[in-house]
Amino acid sequence: MTDESSPAQFVGREPDERLLADDLDNLPEAVGRPETPVPSHARRRIVGTGATLTAASLIVGSLLVLLGLIDAISSGIDGLGIAIVVVGAILVITHWGWVHVAEITANSIEGRSNAEVEDRRRQWLATIQPYTRFEIFTRVEEDGSITIFRVAHRPVASGDRRFTFDRETVYQEVHPPDEPAAQVTERAELLRREAAQDTERERERYQVAADAYESVLLDDADEQQRRLAQRAASEALSSQINTNLREPPLTE
């Protein structure tokens, strides 16, 4: 139960930053999780102040427009009345601007306070290599039975020379509630060992391709050089596969 996709197509790609957010749940548990940014304590106060100023601008602006119209009706149109109406209209039209100013200010302060955290998150992301991982999970059903899942976390291309992961349940089996716990535990452990072996095999396949790629690729390589490096990675991987096929199968 191994992954058949070629890891050679992913060498030279970098992890997509979506893995820090939207695609985080697709990452295998074995790679861990990134550090979580700490919300700024000042954010709530700044956003609250922006909301207050928004409401105040709308109320004050509306009152000024009304006051200017009343003055114009009662005393005739004059410069003061026009000025009051104009100022009120400006406050009404621009009242939502305070919300945006507050949001921008809060994001700026939060970004500065979490700059080091974000740097560590990106460093952690850069350590993830694009090869398939297999993991085993269990779930207790409503009737007391236990389902064992084998999940594959496969790398997929994302944008220009980046990758993310896709999570797929590739196998599952259900054990009835009356089955001895020792048997269920033994079966889960066997599947876990198989998953670990298959993961290691995928890691080795990727490393062979990556080593061949790096040996050809230069720091200032152009697109033609990258294609040559990609071909070298595929040839190295093909050679390893052919060598393994000539070896006798492993037996336990």
Q: Looking at the structure, do residues 102 and 147 belong to the same domain, yes or no?
A: no
Rounded-to-integer distance, Cα 129 and Cα 203, Å: 9
Q: Of 63, 81, 113, which marks where a domain is finished?
A: 113
Average pLDDT over residues 232-246: 62
**Is residue 119 in some structural domain?**
no
Q: Count up the domains in the chain and report the number.
A: 2
**What integer pLDDT is reported at residue 76 of this predicted model?**
66
CA atoms within 13 A on the CB side of 65: 13
Please tell me the predicted confidence (pLDDT) of residue 110.
63
Please write the tens of the pLDDT for every residue from 16-70: 999 998 999 999 998 999 888 766 666 667 677 777 878 887 788 788 777 777 7
The per-type count for the chain, helices as H runs and strands as E runs, is 6, 4
Residue ending a domain, choose from 56, 80, 113 = 113
Residues 175 and 148 in one domain: yes
Which pLDDT tens digit goes with each residue over 205-226? 898 888 877 776 654 455 565 6
Q: Is 210 found in the same domain as 172?
A: yes
In a domain, 102, yes or no: yes
- Whether this model's pTM surpasses 0.85: no
pLDDT digits (tens, 9 = 90+) for 192-205: 999 999 999 999 88
Q: Which domain holds residue 59?
A: 41-113
Say if CB 174 and CB 4 are below 8 A apart. no
Domain boundary among 51, 86, 113: 113
Claim to verify: residue 160 and residue 231 sit in the same structural domain: yes
Quick check: is 29 in a domain? Answer: no
**Residue 164 shares a structural domain with residue 240:** yes
Per-residue pLDDT at 162: 92
SS (H, E, C) 8-58: HHHCCCEECHHHHCCCHHHCCHHHCCCCCCCCCHHHHHHHHHHHHHHHHHH
Length of the chain in residues, anyone?
A: 252
